[in-house]
Structure 1
Amino acid sequence: MAQRGRSDWERQLAAQRREAERQTREAARQAKEQQKAQQSAHITQQQRLAETKTTAVLEDVKLLDQVLVGVLNQPPITFDDLKVKPRIPPFQPGKLGTPPPAPNWQDYAPVEPRGIDRWFGGMNKYRQDVETARARFAAATVAFQRDEAERTSALAAAQAEHRRQVEASQATAAAFNQDVEARRTRFAAGEPDAVEWFVNQVLKASRYPRGFPSRWQVAYRPENRDVVVEFELPNQQVVPAVREYRYVKTRDTVDPVGRPVTEIRQRYARLIARISLRTLHEIFRSTPSDVVEAVVFNGRVTTIDRATGKQARPHLISVEAERSAFDGLVLAEVDPANPFDLEAVEPFIAFDLKRFRFVDGAEELADLDSRRNLLKLSPTEFEHLVKDLFAAMGAEAWRTVPSKDGGVDAVAISKNLFFGGVCLIQAKRWTGLVGLEAVHALTGVMTDHNATTGVLVTTSWFSRTSEQFAQRNRITLINGAALKHLIKRYLGYDVIPGTSPPKR
């Protein structure tokens, strides 16, 4: 019996061990399946992330591809489109527009006693309560009438203010629309300011993808009936450097797949061509042929010159199109550009030079004796000398007429982009310190004339604040000592610049 009992007990223990082992295996299996499900869900999530990021890149590329074709079916901009409607604000009187209820005697009248309550002084008390209630009712009525008079007065003032706002808005809109009509008349007559204003409105209405610059300059030459546009292009970074995103399972990362450099350049070249064609299309579409017969598009980009590490603004494209030839293009089918590397180009028409009246240069160099003091030159002679110096340094330079030149003494245009385009030069034959005011004034002139850089030349010296300000604003300062060195190096003359600066 004892042997049989021990055997039953051992069988029970064995069964319990087997059940425990089974439960352990089942728990391990479930944990493994759960881990596998989590890993699968994580992989799916990472793959979806890669797909989402790839879709975003493809959308960006699609926007670039549609820069031209996306606007071909849009209607032209007209002068009527530029008119505005008066902004009529709704009249909202608030609480003033809702009169409160007048006092009601029933809310004040006491309850007349009945039956036995009329005796033992009940009626006397009732009559007293009536008198008290009448006094309260009269006071409430007076207060109501006073408040109502104030409310109606305030309401009338609010209505008058609203009418004033409506009339002011209508007058503003009418004045603006009248100005648009006046510009329409001058536009039809080919007046440059009206044509330039309207073309600016056409370009302003053109919506480009996010990240594109929104800067341009417009000039109109009535004698040629052509519009010249100086357009700021996006740089090459606007083309996504990533072609797609892939999930790498071995590293558990979503990695970008780079776009080949050749493809980036090809896409960027096509984009620049599309922008130029789009601008030509928008201007031709919105202007009549008797006003605009041709359009010149100069596209430039702000970038970093790899040779110098400095900012540069080269022209990448210059297109001149006549309306008759452009109208023959089927823009939806045009391949804007074959793959090519973009390089700096010279524009067909140098923008903004029409704003300067040029005169022939004078040969001051021929009369400049060795070691001659520059202070003895006349202002005109000194300005011509500076112009000739810049010409010897490799730039084309012209002397502007003394009057109405916005303080600009010379204009230099570099053929090799040494000066980055239009460079405004001021020459000051001074004997004392050139302070911050003179340098600051040059920045304003540069902005007015869309100049890339400025140069201030003097026979004296500059203050420290002037030098610091110039470094921040693309202005080169040439003091007397530097001018002496440049004349010696490029013109072969030795001169005396003028007074020496004091020790700092």
Structure 2
Amino acid sequence: MASRYLYTSEVYHKGLNKYKVVKGETKKIAEQKANAQMAQWEEQWKRKLEVDRKRNERENYARSIEESTEEANKLTLEAEEVQNSLDTILIDNLNPRALDYDSLKDHRVFDQTLPVKPKREEISTRPSREDSKYNQKLSFLQRFSKKQVENQKTESDSQFEKDYKLWEEEEKKKDLKYDQKLADYEIAYNEWYKQKETFYAEQKANNDRIDQLKKDFELGDVSAIENYFEHSIEDIKLPFDFILEVELEYQIETKILIVDILLPTVDDLPRLKKITFVKNRNEFKESFLSDSALNAKYDSVLYQIVLVCFNSIFGSDKYGRVESVVINGKVSTIDKATGNHIEPYILSINVKKEDFKTLNLSSIDPKAWFRNAKGIAAAKLSLVTPVPPVIVLNKEDRRFIESYGVIGNIDDSMNLATMDWQDFENLIREVFEWEFSTNGGEVKITRASRDKGVDAIAFDPDPIKGGKIVIQAKRYTNVVGVSAVRDLYGTIMNEGANKGILVSTSNYGNDAYEFAKEKPITLMNGSNLLYLLEKHGHKARIDIKEAKKQLYAK
């Protein structure tokens, strides 16, 4: 806008210069001619600006179309790559690796910044009576005046005392300031040290569990073997947003591994095929696979996943633990006829290692192989047609044992701290069974394991706060330390549980409560246990001193 005003001002003065007053004309006429010329030039300038504006708009529009077209081509290329990756799931997973237990360990270094110890401010120069400031020389005549000499000495002494007192006060302030900084530092350092100790303690507990898991696997422990192959399957990477979830059962006598695997539904697959830019509507248009093409792609993906699972299990079995694998594939979906959630098995197959090793996976047709291997599945997997599994996974935890009732023998004369440990565990089961039974929950006792890691497992069906809950019962007479809470946390992680509850007849130390803070752990002491019993109509007591006397008497 400013350039236009400069321009019109310039042409106006040019007009005035061009149309000078000539003979027979007045100055007013000359100015009118100049103004008319200026208006004409201004109109020409406006037309020029409009032409430039439209040209810029055309150039910007053309550039926008070009950029949008390029973006559409880029997105199409990405969509094609995704679709192509669905066809190469098997090829991309031909080289399974044995589980590297060390990779499961936590190798991090505690990286919280160490608090810096403060330094005291330097001590300023202490005033000295010998300083020249307090010993100014008198003139020759003043030195003969005793009064002047005494006055000077008095003034110097007074000034020195003031300066010295001021110096002392400043140094005391520095000391107080330093003491406060030092106290703050000690608090910060203790907190830092505590966090460091907790970090490495948790890290060690985690890494020790992994070492034990590796040792158990090498010794042929069933749970460790199941854990090993569970990792090998869950480590399979798919080219779309879906994580394989599995449940396994290893039959050590027959060396059969039964795998229940949750497979993707057809809706989990990416359907985008192409993106084009429509110029006349100035918008992007997405094109998708047809239903028939998507269903065919879905069949291919699932059969490839099954082959990859077999390859991962047999390929990582360096100890020869498995001779045959059964894979039961199911999906989590909605029954359109009822609107209810269902998880039907849609495929099932049993393959021996010796037969699988003869396959050339780089050239195989997964669907043709599945049919030839006598796998069970509907003609179209996308129809979600239920099929019976070849071998049904035993959902019962083999650690679970029969429980028995204890609560009927409990009254206020009973000291829970002196109960038989098995009776105490069954009592805890009954207490929590009452708590969870209101919403259909279930509590089961486990047989004594090598690490005594699990005493009971609760299954809470609540979709929000429920899930698998590990319960440990400690009939202790001493304060429960942090090690027991660490063990519980490790068990929660190892079991894949949502929460852990530690119940003791005794109390917990501060370190135990501190460790449990912000973790899915509930610590229940003797008072909490008595409250639960009373809540459900039963009374008992806990007398730690009495229990200790009985213990020492033995």
Where on the TM-score scale, by shorter chain, does this alignment land: which range? 0.5 to 0.7
C-alpha RMSD over aligned residues = 4.6
- Matching residue of 2:501: none
**TM-score in terms of structure 1 length:** 0.59
Contact in 2 for aligned 1:284/1:323 (Cα 8 Å): yes
Any idea what SS the aligned residue of 1:220 has?
strand
Any idea what SS the aligned residue of 2:367 has?
coil
- Matching residue of 2:216: 186
Q: Which residue identity does 1:313 align to in structure 2? A: E
- Matching residue of 2:251: 221
1:249-264 maps to which residues of 2 (within 5 A)? 249-264=279-294
Determine which of 228, 253, 277 is the counterpart of 1:198. Answer: 228
Determine which of 392, 404, 407 is the counterpart of 1:350. Answer: 392
1:92-241 maps to which residues of 2 (within 5 A)? 92-94=114-116, 97-105=117-125, 111-112=133-134, 114=136, 121-145=151-175, 148=178, 151-152=181-182, 155=185, 158-159=188-189, 161-209=191-239, 211-241=241-271
- Matching residue of 1:441: 440
1:341 partnered with 2:371: no
Q: Cα–Cα, structure 1 residues 107 and 76, in superposed 2: closer, same or farther, change >3 Å?
A: farther
Q: Which moved more, 1:104-113 or 1:33-42?
A: 104-113
**1:103-144 Cα deviation digits (max 9, x unpaired):** 222689984465669976555433322222222333444454
Q: Which residue identity does 1:349 align to in structure 2? A: I
For the residues of structure 2 that align with 1:250 and 1:331, how far apart are their CA atoms? 49
The number of equivalent residue pairs is 366
Contact in 2 for aligned 1:69/1:331 (Cα 8 Å): yes
Determine which of 74, 83, 90 is the counterpart of 2:105. Answer: 83
For the residues of structure 2 that align with 1:117 and 1:264, how far apart are their CA atoms? 113
Q: Which residue identity does 1:41 align to in structure 2? A: R
* Structure 2: unaligned runs, 5 residues or longer: 1-36, 143-147, 371-378, 405-433, 445-456, 462-554
For the residues of structure 1 that align with 2:127 and 2:62, how far apart are their CA atoms? 76
Any idea what SS the aligned residue of 1:440 has?
coil
Q: Cα–Cα, structure 1 residues 122 and 248, in superposed 2: closer, same or farther, change >3 Å?
A: same
Any idea what SS the aligned residue of 2:73 has?
helix
Q: Cα–Cα, structure 1 residues 304 and 106, in superposed 2: closer, same or farther, change >3 Å?
A: same
- Matching residue of 2:349: 319
1:222: how far off?
Answer: 1.0
Contact in 2 for aligned 1:225/1:291 (Cα 8 Å): yes
For the residues of structure 2 that align with 1:85 and 1:150, how far apart are their CA atoms? 37
Any idea what SS the aligned residue of 1:105 has?
coil
1:264: how far off?
Answer: 0.8
1:441: how far off?
Answer: 1.9
- Matching residue of 1:55: 77
Contact in 1 for aligned 2:118/2:181 (Cα 8 Å): no
* Structure 1: unaligned runs, 5 residues or longer: 1-14, 358-401, 406-434, 451-504
- Matching residue of 1:370: none
Any idea what SS the aligned residue of 1:256 has?
strand
Q: Which residue identity does 1:234 align to in structure 2? A: P
Q: Cα–Cα, structure 1 residues 36 and 101, in superposed 2: closer, same or farther, change >3 Å?
A: closer
Calculate percent identity across the aligned residue pairs.
19
1:177: how far off?
Answer: 2.9
1:334-413 maps to which residues of 2 (within 5 A)? 334-337=364-367, 341-342=380-381, 344=385, 345-352=387-394
1:480-499 maps to which residues of 2 (within 5 A)? none
1:283 partnered with 2:313: yes
Any idea what SS the aligned residue of 1:331 has?
coil
Q: Cα–Cα, structure 1 residues 149 and 35, in superposed 2: closer, same or farther, change >3 Å?
A: closer
Contact in 1 for aligned 2:234/2:243 (Cα 8 Å): no
- Matching residue of 2:330: 300
Q: Cα–Cα, structure 1 residues 82 and 249, in superposed 2: closer, same or farther, change >3 Å?
A: closer
Q: Which residue identity does 1:85 align to in structure 2? A: H
Q: Cα–Cα, structure 1 residues 42 and 90, in superposed 2: closer, same or farther, change >3 Å?
A: closer
Any idea what SS the aligned residue of 1:232 has?
strand
For the residues of structure 2 that align with 1:208 and 1:337, how far apart are their CA atoms? 18
Any idea what SS the aligned residue of 2:392 has?
coil
**1:306-362 Cα deviation digits (max 9, x unpaired):** 4444433222332323333334444344443369621533222212256599xxxxx
Contact in 1 for aligned 2:441/2:459 (Cα 8 Å): no
For the residues of structure 2 that align with 1:98 and 1:16, how far apart are their CA atoms? 78
For the residues of structure 2 that align with 1:156 and 1:32, how far apart are their CA atoms? 72
**1:123-179 Cα deviation digits (max 9, x unpaired):** 543332222222233344445455555655665565555444444433333333333
